[in-house]
Amino acid sequence: MEMCILGMVLCFQFSFIHQTNLIKKQQQVAQRELVKKAEENKLLILRQKELLQAEVEQRTSELQVAKEKAEQANRDRLQFFANLNHDLRTPLNSIVGYAQIFQYASKSTQEFQSGFQAIYESANYLTSLINDLMDISKIESSSFELMPDIVNLKALIQSVIKIIRVLAQQKNLHFTTAIDHHLPDAIMADQKRLDQVLINLLGNAVKFTDSGDVHFCVKSIFNTDHSKEHKTVTLYFEIKDTGAGMAQDQLEKIFLPFRQVSRKDKKQEGSGLGLSISQSIVQLMGGTIFVDSVLGKGSKFWFQITVPLIKEKNTAIKKNRSNSDFYI
């Protein structure tokens, strides 16, 4: 009997010790798991802290860059308006001066004609400055809109060529053209704005070229996708010159408003808004003006836009093929 009781006690003690050891092991495992989880959470928190810190630093850097750009834009505006003060006063002084001369002095017909020409050119320059200011104001306020209408494309290009040929002849430059013979007669576009872009790009080419060539190229690519309701044509325009050219750092700034990239040895007349306005117009037409330039060797500007074709029977456009000088 005593042996039976002793065996039961020993069995109970062994079971108790075993259960105690098992509980201790479970506690140790649970403790290790808690420590491991705590370490993982600590590492996760540190990683999130690093990511947050990196994001804060990135945002701070971006804000700093944005601040510097805004400050630079503000300095550009101040410089622009300082230059504009001079640009406005010069033609105004010319107009006022000649008006006073005509009022108090007797002049010959030739002298009158010369004076009136100076007044006319000064007034045109003032008008151009005012138009540029109006355009850039509309662009910055997002109120600049295109007014598409039926356009006689060949007549528009011919008109541009005639204007630029006169400017090139005044500087003894060789002006050449390569106009696609298969250009459509009529398209839907904003004639005034397309003309403005071409005159600006070609005018700049002439302005910054003292000797050599200015070349104007126009090509057309007809859309063969018959699934579209209206047929379209892609027009490619390219202007090349052998002028002053630009350095790489200048190319990054030429389309910014209130920036004028010019040669150091000569002050070029103009508001410095033309390229920025032209880029905005072309972007509204669905394209982008690209530029490639080598300092001292010349520049090339090009862009392409896709516009709707207008059927000939729906237009009142008259073909004029008598001018053989148009396609060169």
224 against 96, higher pLDDT = 96
Q: Is the pLDDT of residue 323 over 60?
A: no
100 against 214, higher pLDDT = 214
Same fold, 1-144 and 149-314: no
Q: Would you list the domain boundaries of the chain?
A: 1-144, 149-314
Q: Is the pLDDT of residue 326 over 80?
A: no
Q: What is the pLDDT of residue 198?
A: 96
- CATH: 1.10.1520.10, 3.30.1330.100, 3.20.20.70, 1.10.287.130. Which one for 1-144? 1.10.287.130
Residue 22 CA: distances (Å) to CA of 1, 25, 26, 29, 36: 31, 5, 6, 10, 21
**For residues 279 and 255, what is the distance between their CA atoms, to the nearest angstrom?**
7
Task: Kindly indicate the confidence band of residue 107, based on its pLDDT and cuts at 50, 70 and 90.
Answer: low
**For residues 23 and 3, what is the distance between their CA atoms, to the nearest angstrom?**
30
Task: Kindly indicate the confidence band of residue 242, based on its pLDDT and cuts at 50, 70 and 90.
Answer: very high
3 state SS of 187: strand
Encode burial over 240-273: b for 16+ CB neighbours within 10 A, e otherwise. bbbbbbbeeeebeebbbbbbbbbeeeeeeebbbb
3 state SS of 173: coil
301-324 mean pLDDT:
67
Percent of the chain with pLDDT over 90: 34
**4 strand-pairing partners:** none
Q: What is the pLDDT of residue 320?
A: 43
141 against 229, higher pLDDT = 141
**Cα angle vertex 151, ends 147, 156, to 5°?**
110
**Tokens for 286?**
């669905």
Sheet containing 174-179, strands listed edge to edge, beginning at the edge strand earlier in sequence:
174-179, 213-222, 232-241, 298-308, 290-294
> Which residue, 254, 221, 220, 218, is CA-closest to 238?
218
Q: What are the pLDDT digits (tens) for 110-121?
A: 666 677 777 777
Q: Is the pLDDT of residue 235 over 60?
A: yes
Q: What is the pLDDT of residue 26?
A: 78
Query: Residue 255, Cα to own-chain centre: how many angstroms?
Result: 5
151-174 mean pLDDT:
93
119-130 mean pLDDT:
73
**For residues 186 and 8, what is the distance between their CA atoms, to the nearest angstrom?**
112
149-314: CATH architecture: 2-Layer Sandwich (3.30)
Q: What are the pLDDT digits (tens) for 163-179?
A: 999 999 999 999 999 99
The residue with tokens 């079971």 is: 15
> Which residue, 154, 215, 210, is CA-closest to 187?
154
The residue with tokens 């020409």 is: 117
Q: Is the pLDDT of residue 49 over 90?
A: no
5-33 mean pLDDT:
73
